[in-house]
Structure 1
């Protein structure tokens, strides 16, 4: 029988930039809200400079949420990446993103160019994970 969704806020994860939970879970599938390059310790701190630094912060924020759920990057099956400057930032973002997974297999992924993101971020990433 299907479970009712469970919604989770992770204590040490960044303050959400909108009205949502850090993650929603149903039937072993875990959907992580897209993370921004905000500082989890200080929501008012300036965003890091450049897409490489912002991608690192976003990935580290996603790892905080995964950890709060008892999961790791090994649990990630899919990612969606949103870039405001797709042509300019795609290669630099990819280099940082890939470094978090290699030599492990890479999750399925979609990367989309968008006209804007909250907080004027350059990148946002969300994950779908699966409990073992």
Structure 2
């Protein structure tokens, strides 16, 4: 059975999607933007990739919490940066601060030309429920 989750504490949708979709213990989270919960999608974003990465990670935590999980359940992340060469090092430092050094998820990071709401960073992930 597939479940479609929308989390009331998560940021407002910037497009038509569910915050997470779950099937057979796998939980796939839609890419989170650096928008703040309770805000409008037109609210200004924090300046800089460090602040935006921090907000994206907090948003991922909110969605995970909404389905009874946390970052320790994440097995894979896909990360998107609009200014790859400029922001990659700072992004990495901020990103890795959310995980224990010995429990980093598999990851792909891609440079892109643009993201929704003018964001510098977006991250989606896959988590697995404990058996």
TM-score by length of 1: 0.95
The correspondence for 1:35, drawn from 24, 32, 37, is 32
CA deviation after TM superposition for structure 1 residue 95, in Å: 0.4
**Matched residue, 2:46:** 48
Matched, 1:23 2:8: no
**Matched residue, 1:131:** 129
TM-score by length of 2: 0.96
5 Å matches for 1:68-83?
68-83=66-81
What is the root-mean-square deviation of aligned Cα atoms in Å?
Answer: 0.8
Cα distance in structure 1, aligned partners of 2:7 and 2:102: 26
Structure 1 runs of 4+ aligned residues shifted over 3 Å read: none
Measured against aligned partners, the alpha-carbon deviations of 1:54-105 in whole angstroms (never above 9, x if no partner) come to 0000000000000000001110000000000000000000000000002341
**Matched residue, 2:59:** 61
Residue correspondences, number: 129
Q: Which runs of 5+ in 2 are unaligned?
A: none
Cα distance in structure 1, aligned partners of 2:101 and 2:109: 21
Stretch moving more, 78-87 or 39-48 = 39-48
